[in-house]
Chain A
Amino acid sequence: GEDVEQSLFLSVREGDSSVINCTYTDSSSTYLYWYKQEPGAGLQLLTYIFSNMDMKQDQRLTVLLNKKDKHLSLRIADTQTGDSAIYFCAESKNQGGKLIFGQGTELSVKP
């Protein structure tokens, strides 16, 4: 079956690194995504990674994929108060296809 799991809350201090973790069960997942949702808004794509990659870096964001353990993580360097939001992990078998979402991790950044 398809299932994506995330912890619900993470609290960090401004300037620290944040690491948000995600596990998935479908080994045929091809694309894995991270979305950010600010209060009362839709989802904004942050980054995505193909299953044939181990790591992707984009400015302050680093995505690590461990295919053996079906574990995906998002690291935010130098976390700012503006990074406070809910972060969703999602997986898909094909680009543009149906997405399976995790429950979302609420990141709280304290000054």
Chain B
Amino acid sequence: DGGITQSPKYLFRKEGQNVTLSCEQNLNHDAMYWYRQDPGQGLRLIYYSQIVNDFQKGDIAEGYSVSREKKESFPLTVTSAQKNPTAFYLCASIGQGATQPQHFGDGTRLSIL
């Protein structure tokens, strides 16, 4: 079945370490999104990409980086510059001109050791 796969489900980061969260989709969707979710808050947009080899900053991009070398993949790196990385991270995608809105993966929970 087609869908969005995020891995790992749980991730732990040591101080000063960069970690990368994976997001893969086999829906042939053009646009992909990364959101951060904190308790009691809505989802906040980190980065998004409308097409391969292009991406834009969202509302809270500081301390994060992304790449979009392949249509299927949109990995998110949480750098050591992100001082409060503990959160639930959600990836979403949508096809060009699609009639359905964003489809979400099951998320990655990142914690600090």
Taking a contact as CB atoms closer than 8 A, the residue among B6, B40, B90, B96 that contacts A8 in the complex is B40
Q: In A48-99, which residues have CB < 8 Å from any B CB? A: 48, 88, 90, 92, 95-96, 98-99
How many residues of B sit at the interface, in one of the four size bands? 20 to 34
Let me know if A98 and B94 touch, CB within 8 A: no
Most buried by A among B90, B100, B102, B104: B102
Report how many residues on chain A are interfacial, defined by Cβ distance under 8 Å. Answer: 23
Let me know if A42 and B42 touch, CB within 8 A: no
Q: In A91-111, which residues have CB < 8 Å from any B CB? A: 92, 95-96, 98-99, 101-104
Q: Least Cβ distance of B105 to chain A in Å?
A: 5
Roughly how many angstroms separate A92 CA and B98 CA in the complex, as a whole number? 14
Roughly how many angstroms separate A44 CA and B99 CA in the complex, as a whole number? 16
Taking a contact as CB atoms closer than 8 A, the residue among A88, A92, A96 that contacts B42 in the complex is A88
Let me know if B101 and A99 touch, CB within 8 A: yes
Which chain A positions have C-beta within 8 A of B35?
Answer: 101
Let me know if B101 and A48 touch, CB within 8 A: yes
B51 contacts the other chain (CB 8 A): no
A45 contacts the other chain (CB 8 A): yes
10 pairs, CB–CB < 8 Å, chain A vs chain B: A8-B40, A42-B6, A42-B90, A43-B104, A92-B101, A96-B95, A99-B43, A99-B102, A101-B42, A103-B42
